[in-house]
Amino acid sequence: MPVEGNEEGKTRRHFIQQIIDADREEGLHGGRVHTRFPPEPNGYLHIGHAKAICVNFGLAAEYGGTVNLRFDDTNPVKEDTEYVDAIREDIAWLGFEWNGGEHYTSDYFETLYGYAVKLIEDGKAYVDEQSAEDIAAQKGTPTSPGTASPFRDRPVEENLRLFAEMREGKHEEGSMVLRAKIDMAHANMHMRDPFMYRIKFAHHHRTGDAWCIYPMYDFAHGQSDSLEGITHSLCSLEFENHRPLYDWYIENLGIFPSKQREFARLNLNYTIMSKRKLLRLVEEGVVDGWDDPRMPTLSGLRRRGYTPESIREFCDRVGVAKRNNVIDVGLLEFALRNHLNATATRAMAVLRPIKLVVTNYPEGQTEWLPTENNPEDASAGTRELPFSRELYIEADDFIVEGVNKKWFRLAPGRSVRLKSAYIVTYVDHVTDASGNVTEVHVEYHPNSKSGSDTSGIKAKGTLHWVECNHAADAEVRLYDRLFSNENPDGHKDRDFMEFLNPESLEVLTNCKVEPVLADAQVGTPWQFTRLGYFTADSKWAKEGKLVFNRAVTLKDGWKG
């Protein structure tokens, strides 16, 4: 049996693994493990779903089991194939395969209808013709019992006839519903004669107009699990109160006993996860779509430059438990840096260029200097960088005032190493009319060449740079968190939109990048030396136009 261990070889098992271990020890279902991931196709998957995906697919893999992808499509007015396609793509991108196949709750509409008929025949369901308001009023409150519907004890034959007429479209939307006859005084509100079916004359993205009655979540989910032989039906905490009903339907139908278990969903600080609210960001144009790189959607994270590996590692690290939690978004960033540090090719790009003129370097000369593609990975090899008299460096890397012991970069009187090239020493600088530095003049030390430095000069700082003649122009988009408040969604009197960070996107259009980046492909991550991890933007980058997104900065240890 696969065992996940730490360095000491001790096993660390979360509570669901422990439940499964115990179930297998008892020989439940012959030790079989079968899970499912059941999204409703009414929106895009986000990082919170990634946790559920990792749990369900991960557990199946760990136990040599099976996992189904099931679209929970019981509400046609909210669902669409657009979302089905996007969900499939996102799960596959994360690196998971639904080895139990792709399923739809709508595949079971006929079976579910039969189940409903059986409950009616058993005297356990009835057609209620009251208004929604009346039914709600009879529901009681958590502290007071409900009262029975006047239709509660209508004869089986009449229920059967009415339910058949509902299906045939003989009754108007809202005129009647099918309800389970359980207990109007139950302490659990979900057991007070819950709805099983409602009438909706709506076009369903898969069944078209074949149906005008649709099962409610509670009357569909457990039975779908059962029909698929799901052994462990894992969902979030908010469904804990639904479990008795889940079990009630399965028991009273006498079908395969899937078991529901609940774990805490993922919450991230500085982030909203509600589909409704994410939709508002899209609709109000705050972001440029569901895949805006600032969105917590998987498509957004992908476009931002997140890797599937980093997201899976993040999900592993957040753990699985029953406590409500708020994960620091820094942990997500850590997982990305961790992966990309090991795998991303280093390249040089200057975001806010000023010219660096090497006054003692021969005019018209260019030399090609080798540089490591990834110092963490010798097998990544080297490539060559052009170097000549005129270079670009970062405006931030040169200051005239405020120079102190902690400043390692260029300044009057200072020397710095140009990464993979020479050590240069300040000579002079040029400012424009408004006092901004436009050029820095330096002299290089020919015997300080990278890899064969005999100069004996100690330069504390190392700068990235790009040679002017070979530089490619690029647009670079820098992102910050979308919200400036840790819990934008958690304020009773204030709308989450009030907490939008006005500086969540900065577009730099005058960036200079080294030649290798001119061929950057969407999906390939790069580390821009000293700046962070970047990737070509899948939306705006085009033939002849370079656009990069910064996924995350490098950790900045500089306490200037």
Among residues 77 and 509, whose Cβ is nearest to RNA?
A: 77
- One-character DSSP codes across 22-68: HHHHTTGGGG--EEEE---SSS--BHHHHHHHHHHHHHHHHTT-EEE
Burial 273-291 (b: 16+ CB within 10 A, else e): bebeebeebbeeeebbebb
Considering the candidates 13, 24, 32, 40, report the single residue annotated as catalytic: 40
Which 2-21 residues touch RNA, going by CB under 7 A? 6, 12-15, 18
Among 311, 302, 425, residue whose Cα is nearest residue 358: 425
| Amino acid making up residue 117 | V
Q: What is d(CA 464, CA 486) in angstroms, rounded to the nearest whole number? A: 34
User: How do 345-347 and 525-528 pair as beta strands?
Assistant: parallel
Which 233-252 residues touch RNA, going by CB under 7 A? 237-242
Known catalytic residue at 275: yes
Near RNA by CB under 7 A: residue from 35, 527, 535, 549? 527
Query: By CB under 7 A, which span of 82-90, 322-330, 382-390, 426-434 interacts with RNA?
Result: 322-330
Considering the candidates 124, 179, 243, 275, report the single residue annotated as catalytic: 275
Shortest Å distance, C-beta 506 to RNA = 20
Dihedral, 546, 307, 234, 206 alpha carbons, nearest 10: 30
Near RNA by CB under 7 A: residue from 326, 472, 505, 508? 326
462 binding RNA? (CB under 7 A): yes
The answer to whether 341 and 376 have CB atoms below 8 angstroms apart is yes
289 binding RNA? (CB under 7 A): no
419 binding RNA? (CB under 7 A): yes
Query: By CB under 7 A, which span of 251-259, 358-366, 470-478, 523-531 interacts with RNA?
Result: 523-531
Q: What is d(CA 124, CA 248) in angstroms, rounded to the nearest whole number? A: 11
Among residues 292 and 337, whose Cβ is nearest to RNA?
A: 337
Which 171-230 residues touch RNA, going by CB under 7 A? 173-177, 187-190, 195, 198-200, 214, 216-218, 221
70 binding RNA? (CB under 7 A): no
Across the beta sheet with 415-418, what order do the strands follow?
462-463, 415-418, 423-431, 437-444, 353-358, 390-394, 465-467
Size of the site for RNA (CB under 7 A): 93
Which 465-484 residues touch RNA, going by CB under 7 A? none
Q: What is d(CA 528, CA 135) in angstroms, rounded to the nearest whole number? A: 62
Shortest Å distance, C-beta 348 to RNA = 10
Considering the candidates 265, 322, 352, 419, report the single residue annotated as catalytic: 265
| Amino acid making up residue 23 | D
Near RNA by CB under 7 A: residue from 27, 435, 493, 559? 559
51 binding RNA? (CB under 7 A): no
Q: What is d(CA 216, CA 146) in angstroms, rounded to the nearest whole number? A: 21
Query: By CB under 7 A, which span of 251-259, 476-484, 509-517, 552-560 interacts with RNA?
Result: 552-560
Shortest Å distance, C-beta 544 to RNA = 28
What are the helix (H) ranges across 108-207?
109-121, 132-138, 156-168
Query: By CB under 7 A, which span of 148-156, 287-295, 298-306, 403-411 interacts with RNA?
Result: 403-411
Both tokens assigned to 348:
């040089």
Near RNA by CB under 7 A: residue from 28, 117, 160, 264? 264
Near RNA by CB under 7 A: residue from 20, 327, 347, 482? 327
Among residues 44 and 292, whose Cβ is nearest to RNA?
A: 44
Site string for RNA, 86-115 (x = CB under 7 A): ------------------------------
Percent of the chain as helix, strand, coil, to the nearest 5:
30, 25, 45
| Amino acid making up residue 321 | A
337 binding RNA? (CB under 7 A): yes
Q: What is d(CA 351, CA 226) in angstroms, rounded to the nearest whole number? A: 56
Among residues 333 and 537, whose Cβ is nearest to RNA?
A: 333
Q: What is d(CA 359, CA 443) in angstroms, rounded to the nearest whole number? A: 6
Known catalytic residue at 40: yes
Catalytic residue numbers, as ranges: 40, 265, 275
